[in-house]
Amino acid sequence: MCGITGYVGYRQVTPVLLETLKKLEYRGYDSAGIAVLHEQALLVRKMKGPLKVLAERLASETIEGSLGIGHTRWATHGEPSDINSHPHTDVAGHIAVVHNGIIENYAKLKEWLQAQGVVFRSDTDTEVIAHLINYYYGKNRKKQENDSGTEDALLHAVLQTLTRLEGSYALGLIAIENNDFPDRLIAVRKDSPLIVGLGKGEHFIASDVPALLGYTREVYFLEDREVAVLYRDHVDLFTEQGEQIHRAPSHIDWDMASAEKGGYAHFMLKEIHEQAKAFTDTLRPRLTREAQGWDITLDEIKLDAGWAAAPRIVITACGTAWHAAMVGKYAFEHFARIPVEVDIASEYRYRNPVFNPQDIFIVISQSGETADTLAAMRLAKQGGARILAITNTVGSTLSREAHLVLYTWAGPEIAVASTKAFTTQLLCLYLLALKIGVLRSKVPDVDRYLGALRDMADKAAQILHKQELIQRFASRQFNKDKVFFIGRQFDYAVSLECALKLKEISYTHSEAFAAGELKHGPIALVDTNTLVVALATQRELFDKIVSNIREVTARGAATWVITWEGETVFNAIADEVFTLPQTEDSLSPLLSIIPAQLFAYYCAVQKGNDPDKPRNLAKSVTVE
């Protein structure tokens, strides 16, 4: 996730920007940059790589100024590079902008600006903002000269620009203005966080609280579509329509460690809670409203008839990403009616697989750097396969070597146990399955599913509101010797991930079983020190899962059922039932994993484990 900071005041701005950016490093980034108003010119210094390299470079020159903006970039549009780093400026270098978020309509805006003669330097979506503001600023200034008007040409240009932007943005900008205005910094927020810090004779902006704690604890948390104009001695807040807003600042009393985690006790809990937003970020740019209803737009991979005609889909991945692939198998077969083969990457690379160049070959990896996954991809590529990567990391080896890439837009995942990366991988797989299903005329009622997907962020938030129920349940069950997750169909695929989450961080022996397999062996393990968690979201299989629950309760196991709100069939037979807001059975994995993630988290905490850094595990497995 990108990090933004900005300052106007009496101090030398460069050290302030570097120090505040450093406090945002935990968000993950691949490049960094600053823009400073220095002797009536905007000096921009930016480069790919860590902040300390930028700091070394800045130490070799004298940049004086007390107005500036800074940025750590986590690449979305365009690879990590010096030129794609922020800040971005208009052609003359009079306006500098830093941005966190995604401008969904940037391609159209870029085309329009190019038609006005603007020459672009980067591949980013952000650059359009600098050019658009400059375009309107120029017009407003001309109007001022003609009518001797007194309007604030820059602020007005920013507001005009906002009317043209679709997507999410937190923005910080500075400009060389005529002498009507003292130094000032403009900040805007929509669907991406931005905070204004209030000092004495100085003011700040930042993406997150930790950046500001060394300077102030009095802040405005900008609301969506609010604009802040920061001067040395005061801050004005406006609506996007330019109406002034008055409200009291908030006081922050978090310490630094909890501030980095956004007030959550651990990154894992924070990331579990970020899933609702990650759903929106992953979905919104890809669902477009057409005359006949909603449509899935996967511009980045340009699905054509060849995809619809593919005889088979092969998916490889490791760990959590492999579990996403398992859900994907059910989704592709359900919606697109294409046979799917799913392979653990470390097996695929050594098992002499049979290639068919007509196959769609999908590789899934949060980091895009997992050694086994890369090796499997390279093998398939040599065999002539078309490779589609699903990854969370722009510029990763996987994203560079695959033919096509679909990004998950989950934001950086810091906790070792994957949560929001998994659910956004699922979302990408569902979008692909539905799109290919439509191309193959297999999903006549696609609107129904797209409507359900659009509601998914709200439903995830409803589950997260019930986390205390799970915390209490975990406090009663965390000491069980064994926890088995059972399910059928989509529920079986998700059970695999539920069991991995629990074993990774609580160190409890947990396994997932296809519920129908219990009697073929695993039931021998069930005793009074066993918890069996039954995922029950496939309504037509309820009777079967009821029988499985009876089988394990008869052997003394405690049972927890995860099912839909309004379904009462399990109340009398399970020890505990957790209900999910209703959606399509076939989309249930997007929701049913969330209580299991929370359960794993709270069991780990009860046992005194650090859920963010489980023993023996690394976030990215770049060796075999």
What phi and psi values does residue 242 have, to the nearest 5 degrees? 90, 10
Residue 284 CB, shortest distance to ligand M6R, in Å, is 23
Residue 368 CB, shortest distance to ligand M6R, in Å, is 7
Catalytic residue among 442, 466, 503, 619: 619
Using the contact rule CB under 6 A, the part of the chain among 121-129, 209-217, 226-234, 319-327 near ligand M6R is 319-327
DSSP string, 168-204: EEEEEEEE---TTS-S-EEEEEESS--EEEE-SS-EE
Cα–Cα distance for residue pair 16/199, rounded to 1 Å: 13
Using the contact rule CB under 6 A, the part of the chain among 192-200, 212-220, 414-422, 437-445 near ligand M6R is 414-422
> In this complex, which beta carbon is closest to ligand M6R, that of residue 260 or of residue 497?
497
Binding of ligand M6R at residue 316 (CB under 6 A)? no
Binding of ligand M6R at residue 576 (CB under 6 A)? no
Binding residues for ligand M6R, how many (CB under 6 A)? 16
Binding of ligand M6R at residue 320 (CB under 6 A)? yes
Binding of ligand M6R at residue 604 (CB under 6 A)? no
Residues in 463-502 that interact with ligand M6R by CB under 6 A: none
327 token code pair: 């859900």
> In this complex, which beta carbon is closest to ligand M6R, that of residue 119 or of residue 623?
623
Q: Which DSSP symbol is given to 564?
A: E
Binding of ligand M6R at residue 319 (CB under 6 A)? yes
> In this complex, which beta carbon is closest to ligand M6R, that of residue 32 or of residue 416?
416
Residue 379 CB, shortest distance to ligand M6R, in Å, is 16
Residue 101 CB, shortest distance to ligand M6R, in Å, is 24
Residue 318 CB, shortest distance to ligand M6R, in Å, is 4
Residue 321 CB, shortest distance to ligand M6R, in Å, is 4
Residues in 118-157 that interact with ligand M6R by CB under 6 A: none
> In this complex, which beta carbon is closest to ligand M6R, that of residue 9 or of residue 80?
80
Q: Which of 32, 206, 416, 428 lies at the binding interface for ligand M6R (CB under 6 A)?
A: 416
Site string for ligand M6R, 347-386 (x = CB under 6 A): ------------------xxx--x--x-------------
Q: Which DSSP symbol is given to 80?
A: S
Alpha-carbon distances, residue 604 vs 117, 496, 608 (angstroms): 58, 18, 6
Show the DSSP H helices in 368-489 as ranges: 371-382, 397-401, 420-439, 446-454, 456-464, 467-477
Cα–Cα distance for residue pair 415/264, rounded to 1 Å: 12
Q: Which of 118, 229, 326, 417 lies at the binding interface for ligand M6R (CB under 6 A)?
A: 417
Spell 318-336 as b/e; 16+ CB within 10 A means b.
bbbbbbbbbbbbbbbebbb
> In this complex, which beta carbon is closest to ligand M6R, that of residue 158 or of residue 415?
415
Cα–Cα distance for residue pair 222/195, rounded to 1 Å: 6
Residue 79 CB, shortest distance to ligand M6R, in Å, is 19
Annotated active-site residue 619? The verdict is yes
Residue 610 CB, shortest distance to ligand M6R, in Å, is 14
438 token code pair: 């439509």
> In this complex, which beta carbon is closest to ligand M6R, that of residue 321 or of residue 394?
321
Binding of ligand M6R at residue 318 (CB under 6 A)? yes
DSSP three-state, residue 57: helix
Bond into 87 cis (ω within 30)? yes
Cα–Cα distance for residue pair 374/621, rounded to 1 Å: 11
Binding of ligand M6R at residue 424 (CB under 6 A)? no
DSSP three-state, residue 481: coil
Residue 413 CB, shortest distance to ligand M6R, in Å, is 9
Catalytic residue among 2, 318, 428, 603: 2
591 token code pair: 């929701």
77 token code pair: 């549009």
Site string for ligand M6R, 501-530 (x = CB under 6 A): ---x--------------------------
Binding of ligand M6R at residue 621 (CB under 6 A)? yes
Binding of ligand M6R at residue 158 (CB under 6 A)? no
DSSP string, 97-139: EEEEEEETTHHHHHHHHHHTTPPP-SS-STHHHHHHHHHHHHH
Residue 387 falls in which region: left (phi positive, over 0), alpha (psi -120 to 50) or beta: beta
Question: How many alpha carbons lie under 13 Å from residue 455 in its C-beta half-sphere?
Answer: 15
Using the contact rule CB under 6 A, the part of the chain among 24-32, 110-118, 412-420, 584-592 near ligand M6R is 412-420
Residue 618 CB, shortest distance to ligand M6R, in Å, is 8
Cα–Cα distance for residue pair 126/113, rounded to 1 Å: 13
Q: Which of 51, 315, 321, 483 lies at the binding interface for ligand M6R (CB under 6 A)?
A: 321
Residue 363 CB, shortest distance to ligand M6R, in Å, is 9
Annotated active-site residue 142? The verdict is no
Cα–Cα distance for residue pair 429/363, rounded to 1 Å: 11
Binding of ligand M6R at residue 418 (CB under 6 A)? yes
Cβ distance 447 to 294 under 8 Å? yes
Using the contact rule CB under 6 A, the part of the chain among 146-154, 220-228, 415-423, 442-450 near ligand M6R is 415-423
Cβ distance 340 to 328 under 8 Å? yes
Residue number of the CB atom closest to ligand M6R? 319
Cα–Cα distance for residue pair 506/121, rounded to 1 Å: 49
Alpha-carbon distances, residue 112 vs 91, 107, 248, 526, 587 (angstroms): 15, 9, 40, 65, 38
Binding of ligand M6R at residue 282 (CB under 6 A)? no
Binding of ligand M6R at residue 298 (CB under 6 A)? no
Q: Which DSSP symbol is given to 210?
A: G
Residues in 55-114 that interact with ligand M6R by CB under 6 A: none
- Interface positions with ligand M6R (CB under 6 A): 318-321, 365-367, 370, 373, 416-418, 504, 617, 620-621
Catalytic residues: 2, 619
